[in-house]
Structure 1
Amino acid sequence: MSLAPNDVHQNQIQFALERGIPAYLGVLGTKRLPYPSRSFELAHCSRCRIDWLQRDGILLLELDRLLRPGGYFAYSSPEAYAQDEEDRRIWKEMSALVERMCWKIAAKRNQTVIWVKPLTNDCYLNRVQGTRPPLCKTDNDPDAVWGVPMEACITPYSDQNHRAKGSGLAPWPARLTTAPPRLADFDISPETFTKDMELWQQRVESYWKLLSPKIRPNTIRNVMDMNANMGSFAAALRDKPVWVMNVVPADGPNTLKLIYDRGLIGSVHDWCEAFSTYPRTYDLIHAWTVFSVIEKKGCSAEDLLLEMDRILRPTGFIIVRDKRVVIDFIKKYLTALHWASVAVVDAEPGSNSENSDTVIVIRKQMWSTNDKLKDSA
């Protein structure tokens, strides 16, 4: 996941997405980044001018929250080279901070240093009493991220991680289809996890049959799943040359940690708000029950249609899987949005229930403002 601050480098996200690279526009400031604890094996900061020492090292501690046991931080900056007095001062203070955080140097060369996190809580528990930064309090949920302020404290590992001396994850690519250890946090059985995978495998195969007549090879790269649940939609695309931004609702079950444990990526979001990305940067958007959910929250479904149009590239596709009344609602806006219906099918053939799901596949048309003026004349 490429992350660029939206104060000075927001155009870099556009470049990354246009190259087909996973990217997100974010702020490393006062609120936690939208990723659960223990999400990444490696964090990288190149030509890094972030002031990691500010506010008792709170930004570095946020990075510590995101790294898995034994995870690495690759840091490239003049301070690591210590060329002048100020660089030497910063390097000395930063080295002391990461040592108190129990990080060790794995490698160092010229302006680059790579630190590694411990595999267990042993080092944290053996620190001298009163050492700062402190360990986070037991009531601190390290996976809560939507609007949660950062804290200048160390996130210790769970008892399970501590005993396993690591994350306990299967190696890649087996972890994509292996029930992750944190599944137990949701009281979801491995059998339910497997059934969910099988269900979405069938659904994705049917989606691709509907799309195939309309797409050329290698035209779909950036995909968004607006309600990802456990990430099985993305896992079912493992043989396709695509990546998926898995979005988990901010007020729903925090299943994003399962998605990262499967080796996938994603973010938390509230679809009553705009998504933090550049316009026209996704080739395919999948919306499963998203409209039904925001309707219950009292948000504008029309605004959500406009947000989807903003995110989607011209000639890109939208797959909506929802109640029939939602599909009928969307159909009313196809002409105004310059969208074309590719297919509408019953998700459950033979069912006449109003509560049964229907699938509509939509394609965004290429048009200009002149075309719009002609249509209005």
Structure 2
Amino acid sequence: MDHCLSHHHKLLRLPSPVSTLKPRSSVYFAPKSQALTRRLTVVASASSHCEFSSLNSPLDPRTRLGKDLSSVLQNHPQLFHLAVAQELKQLAEERQDARCRMNRSAESLEACLHRRIARLKEQQCQIAVEDVMYLLIFYKFSEVKVPLVPKLSKCIYNDRLEILPTKDWELESIYSLEVLEMIREHVTTVIGLRANSSVTDNWAMTKITRQTLGRVYVASILYGYFLKSVSLRHRLERSLFLESQDLHLSCRTSLQEMSPHGIKSLLFGHIGKIQSECVGSHKLEKTNGKLKCYVMGFDSETLQRCAKLRSEEAVNLIKNHCCALFGDDAEMASIETDEVISTSFSSLKRLVLEAVAFGSFLWDTEECIDSVYKLKEN
């Protein structure tokens, strides 16, 4: 997979999702209600708009398990995490049972059959887990009362897109001040909207191609994922530094080697400015100082580790979500590749902030699921 996203002009190339298989049946849940129904209004003109209900997500669950958990999330949100834990445990057991049968039959005449069964079960479980990951991410958005932007094909009228309400405050409230500072710089870099811009500037109209909008969205997901990774590293190293003022540099090196993450290119259009702010800082001062100065202390290999998507499931999830949001391959082939959309800077900011939050929530979700169901390493 090519993770290179130099200067926001290269879209993440992701492998095709595995084929959809019919999953095993699950427990019965109550009929759907509108308990968690939220609405997102996308205004195209004074007289035309579209409203979205239910999960408000562009990507629908592909498996029976995903649909069942979606029902639990809407009807009994207090039971959602318990249901997820039970289903993940069952998926892990089913996958392990298939592997054990394959290993036991390695020397028998049925070895080929059991290998195929194990492979199909692996694919089936992976699709189900991707559904679980997506619902967990949606749950995190619902906690801050932010609906996901629905399919853009349903929201663009006369080549114009407006997203209301913007939900900027809610999307920014989930971060520390240090992380938020870097996110605001990222917004300025990719759409040119200053953090302290006026209302007039926010609602000024601009034009952007559909492809460019997709690239910015994917890049922002990866940036949010990266920031979550490095902010946790920074917090850990800073706590170790405060506990031991004579912390040796080799300790930091060993911590870097423990990290499983990486990336080929980092989204810092403002990297020169950050470097100038951090020039002359001692490495231990960077550890105990600003997050962006800490990041500038990384070598290229460490930068790569810190932003690499850790699992294949995460790779597939980003691809499927973005294809559903911006249009699948068939839809994209039917429109002009340079289709121009008119929108406001405020709407662009809304999309970028959502994507950054999606990446941050994805990191958390990987960590949560991997403790019960071992994800496939990317």
Tell me the TM-score range normalised by the shorter chain: under 0.3
More strand per residue: 1 or 2? 1
Instruction: Give me the TM-score of the superposition, normalised by structure 2.
Output: 0.23
More helix per residue: 1 or 2? 2
Instruction: Give me the TM-score of the superposition, normalised by structure 1.
Output: 0.23
